[in-house]
Amino acid sequence: MAEVTEPRRKKMKEKEYQRELRRLHGELVALQEWVKSSGAKVCVVFEGRDTAGKGGTIKAIIERVSPRTFRVVALTAPTERERSQMFIQRYLPHLPAAGEVVIFDRSWYNRAGVERVMGFCTEEQTRTFLQQLPAVEKAIVDSGVILVKYWLEVSPEEQTRRLKNRINDPRKTWKLSDLDLKSYSRWYDYSRARDDMFHATDTSWAPWYVAVTDDKKRGRLNIITHLLNTVPYKPQHLPEVTLPKRQKPDGYKDPKLPLHYIPTPY
């Protein structure tokens, strides 16, 4: 896979972005209602370069939908017990049941990416994983799960800019781990790992979809649009809603309770 050569375009303006995002949020709500009524099972996997915008894209997707239907899975480092299990075992319980959309913020593909590059697993373990995974994903899809896999790609220059921004912004320092700093110097090791992963796991039943996200706003809108076009949802008929009349106080008066109101500095 060639490195990112995204055409030069002006950054999308906030007003245009919010207008399009509002429209897409309405469609995501329609998708949600279809998933609930049809009992569909949707699993969306987000992988990609550090700083490529996985978290922001996921946030944009779930901003206006119900957390009871859209569930985000972002697993921490495995425990000692989990390290002794079959690698994919700890991910399987998080797959969607009927009427759910599960979004993986990084997934079982950790083994093909960060674990391989940073030496947390052996080359043999990686090869075995890549050989076995297509059959596992085929079983997932055959069980009725709609599996959509996204790889978010960013240019090295934009990655550098974003990492520097995290260093200098106290709101974002939590996003900058020691592992991120170590990973930064391994750009081409990650490229090779990504290419091997695509070669082994880009299948007809679970293809990879690549999104270039040097412009975060355009990237988010493109991914949401693609997701909506990929899941075969049908907008549900919504009944007209009229607010009922509110009851009369019938003698109710606010009690004089010693309530503790918060300060109002704003």
Asked if residue 155 belongs to a domain, the reply is yes
Range(s) of the domain holding residue 157:
14-230
Rounded to whole angstroms, the Cα distance separating 26 from 9 reads 27
Tens digits of residue pLDDT in 28-48: 999 999 999 999 999 999 999
- Contact criterion met (CB below 8 Å) for 17 and 217: yes
What number of other Cβ atoms are within 10 A of residue 78's Cβ? 15
Continuous segment of H or E residues that includes residue 148: strand 145-153
- Contact criterion met (CB below 8 Å) for 80 and 48: no
Q: Enumerate residue ranges in the chain where pLDDT < 70.
A: 1-8
CATH number, domain of 218, equals 3.40.50.300
Asked if residue 102 belongs to a domain, the reply is yes
Asked if residue 18 belongs to a domain, the reply is yes
Rounded to whole angstroms, the Cα distance separating 88 from 129 reads 9
Asked if residue 235 belongs to a domain, the reply is no
Residue bearing tokens 């599960």: 102
Tens digits of residue pLDDT in 125-135: 999 999 999 99
State residue 43's pLDDT score: 98
State residue 9's pLDDT score: 75
Pick left, alpha or beta for residue 99 (phi over 0 → left; psi -120 to 50 → alpha; otherwise beta). left
Q: Most distant CA pair in the chain: distance in Å? A: 76
Asked if residue 33 belongs to a domain, the reply is yes
State residue 176's pLDDT score: 79
Distance of CA 247 to the CA centre of its chain: 44
* Sheet hosting strand 145-153, strand order edge to edge: 70-73, 100-105, 41-48, 145-153, 208-212
Two tokens, residue 63: 């901003």
State residue 4's pLDDT score: 57
Asked if residue 236 belongs to a domain, the reply is no
State residue 177's pLDDT score: 79
What are the angstrom distances between the C-alpha of 71 and each of 49, 99, 244? 22, 11, 32
What number of other Cβ atoms are within 10 A of residue 257's Cβ? 6
Rounded to whole angstroms, the Cα distance separating 193 from 199 reads 10
- Contact criterion met (CB below 8 Å) for 148 and 46: no
Distance of CA 115 to the CA centre of its chain: 19
Asked if residue 4 belongs to a domain, the reply is no
- Contact criterion met (CB below 8 Å) for 116 and 11: no
State residue 246's pLDDT score: 93
Asked if residue 242 belongs to a domain, the reply is no
Rounded to whole angstroms, the Cα distance separating 78 from 85 reads 10
Q: How many domains does the chain have?
A: 1
